[in-house]
Each structure stands twice: as structure tokens, then as C-alpha cells.
Structure 1
Amino acid sequence: MKRLFDFICSLVGIILLSPIILVTAVLIRLKLGSPIVFKQQRPGLHGKPFFVYKFRTMTDERDENGELLADSVRLTPFGQLLRKLSLDELPQLFNVLKGDISLVGPRPLLMEYLNLYTPEQARRHEVRPGITGWAQVNGRNAISWEDKFKLDVWYVDNRTFWLDIKILFMTVQKVFKSEGISQAGHVTIEKFAGSKGADNE
């Protein structure tokens, strides 16, 4: 039922939002150049890697050694607006259509984090990741990694169709309020460096 719901909703969403997707793509091409879509490998169900799609929000500015500059430098005001309105997330509807992710589930993070999770935190991969999730509507990037993972695992243990509907409605409210987009002092959130014995507290 969840997969059928995801497929229908993502297909309808792509059709209805196609004008917005097209206009956003054109503006990104004009303001940031190519590629328009940012593609990165992320862990999906059971940690199996897939490529997540997002609209590009940063430039490719590099230093004299050819290394990319800090995110805070490369993120333009236009890119910040895309993130504030969550327009950068729209290409993930194609990920949902393909079955890589769900509309609702723990957010797919970086592959490099896989070996840093505690066994309990790793349970977030027992379900498909999602465009939005329980952690996103309860703080998003403004909460700590430990709290985020606790919320993810809570969702794994308590997920229902009606909880997904509730999360989708709460997500719309969060987008309009532009809450929790970034952590204090960071463009989004600081990198996860491990749980530092959180399970032993």
C-alpha cells in the first residue's frame, strides 16, 4: 500500500509541479550553470546505495589547488532561496517514482556515515529513506544528530499509513514557515562524526 501510494503521489506530483520544476531548472541554468541537477550516492533500504537527485544550489568555485571552497562560500542567495522553499528537493520525486526512496522515511544521509552509526542508529535503514520524515517535522537540521537518529528509529518502530499522512501535512506547514533549515553557525548542519558513546549514557 505504501509503495502504491508513493508511486501514484510522485507521478501526480511530477505532472502537477512540472511548470515549477521547469522554471526552477531554467533559472538554475541561468544563475548557476550546469549541471542543473546535483546527483550523489546515498544509502537506501538496508544501506544499498542509490543516486539521489536534487536541484543544484551551489557554485563550483575552487581555490588555487582546485579544491572546492566551503559550502558557505559556494551557496548563493538564489541557492538559499531554493532551500528555503524546498524547491531543491523536487527532483527526488523521480527517486520516489523509481522506488529508491519513499515520500516519508528517514532522510538518506552520506555513505561515509554508515560505519559511524551505533547498531541502534543503523536501524534507520530498515525502511526506505524518504523526502521527508519524522525527524524533519520535529526539528529538521536544528536538532542534534543523536536526537535526529532517535526520531528516525522511533518512526521505524511506529510507522503507519496514517502517520505518513500526518508527516506529509506537517511537512507542508514546515515549508511555509521555513523552520529548521540550518543549524546555528552552519549552512545546513555540521557533519556527523560518530555517536561518541551516546548509547552508554
Structure 2
Amino acid sequence: MIAKYLFDRIMAFVGLVVLSPILFVVWILIRIKMPDGPAVFTQKRVGKGGKLFTMYKFRSMSAHHSGSTVSVAGESRITPLGAKLRRYKLDELPELWNVFIGDMSFVGPRPDVPGYADKLEGDDRRVLQLRPGITGPASLKYRDEEVLLAAQANPQEFNDKVIYPDKVRINLYYLDHYSFVADIKMIIATVLGKRIEYNNEII
């Protein structure tokens, strides 16, 4: 995966430079519209090998809230500006820094909070061989995850029993059938909001 490693570092640097005006504007908007806390949200996530790292995102929720680790569309803790940032994935732009310093990759499993990936057992633990990604096959399949969860009577249970096991399945396939070309296709699909065929399913 040498090509993947070099691509991640080079393109993350380019992205940070090219997108710096957008990063600055979003930072200013958050400071104006959501002055109750920092513009950048940091949280410990599980990385490659189960090692914890600090992930950076633009804050999309009120600074003082308590709630589930599962986000549901329309919930009150997500601010109006935050909803727009999440809709267009602008809240994830600071993760380019995580890619640049090697904590994350452009493509891979989404980084979990402790209690998910680090608790996997048996063959499923092979997912931890992967560096977490900004996007990936599971992320593409469940790009409307918050809307799907909002339609459930018990979003947390549905996530834990249906969505998360399926994500593990998809990510194990990605690990065993890695392709740099597939990575590029998934990045393009993410940017353009398109769906692609992957492992005989549309994601």
C-alpha cells in the first residue's frame, strides 16, 4: 500500500493548502453562529491497531449536550449551521490534518469511538489493520445513516445490531480486496455524491 501512503500524505497537504480559504470561512461562521464553544471539535477515536488518536472536525453540535454516540438527523443538539456543515460534509474537512500526520487515510473505515472497533472479536478484529478513513465503502453505503436511524424506534439498537455489523463485513472485504483504483473511485463518488458498484452491491 505504498501508493496509498504517498497519495494520502501528498493530497492531504494539497487539500489543506487549496481549501484553506474554505476552512477559514467555516471557522469564522462557527465562531459567529455557535459562540458557546470551540470551532473545532476534538475526540478520541480508535485508529490502526486499536491505538487511540485525536480526531479533528468542525463542531456541528451545541457545546454543552449529553446524548448517544449515534447521531440522528433532526436531533436538537445539532445546530442549524451544523446541519448544513454535515449535509455537505464540510465538518469533516479538518480531518485532512489527521490524514497528513498519518492517523487517518482518505479511504478506510470511519474511526469509531471506544467501545466499537476496539471491542471486536475473532476475525472481525482484522478491521483494525486498516487506517481509519474520511470515506470508504461502508461510509458510502450508509451516507444517509442519520436519516435511516431517525426512522427507527430504537436508533442505538438498530445501529449496533444491523448497521455496525454490516459495516464490519464491508470493511473486511475492503481489507482483503484492496485496490488503489477502487480508492480513487470511492473518493470521486464521495466528492460528487454519486453511487458506485462495489462487491456486487450499490454503495
Q: TM-score, normalised by structure 2?
A: 0.78
Cα distance between partner residues in 1 of 2:118 and 2:136: 22
Cα distance between partner residues in 1 of 2:117 and 2:106: 22
CA RMSD of aligned residues (A): 1.9
Matched, 1:42 2:61: no
- Please report how far the alpha carbon of residue 146 of structure 1 lies from its aligned counterpart in structure 2 after TM superposition: 1.6
User: SS state of the match for residue 137, structure 2?
Assistant: coil
- Report if aligned partners of 2:117, 2:128 keep a CA contact under 8 Å in 1: no
Cα distance between partner residues in 2 of 1:97 and 1:115: 23
Structure 2: unaligned runs, 5 residues or longer: 149-161, 196-203
Q: In percent, how many aligned pairs have the same letter? A: 42
Number of the residue aligned with 1:77: 80
Q: TM-score, normalised by structure 1?
A: 0.79
Structure 1: unaligned runs, 5 residues or longer: 63-67, 178-201
User: SS state of the match for residue 120, structure 1?
Assistant: helix
User: SS state of the match for residue 56, structure 2?
Assistant: strand
1:92-171 superposed matches below 5 A: 92-114=95-117, 116-140=119-143, 141=145, 142=148, 144-171=163-190
**Large movers: runs of 4+ above 6 Å:** none
- Report if aligned partners of 2:8, 2:105 keep a CA contact under 8 Å in 1: yes
Report which stretch shifted further, 140-149 or 92-101.
140-149
* Residues paired across the two proteins, number: 171
Cα distance between partner residues in 2 of 1:85 and 1:114: 26
- Report if aligned partners of 1:136, 1:171 keep a CA contact under 8 Å in 2: no
User: SS state of the match for residue 38, structure 1?
Assistant: strand
User: SS state of the match for residue 100, structure 1?
Assistant: coil
User: SS state of the match for residue 15, structure 2?
Assistant: helix
Say which of 80, 91, 101 aligns to 2:94. 91
Cα distance between partner residues in 1 of 2:166 and 2:192: 21
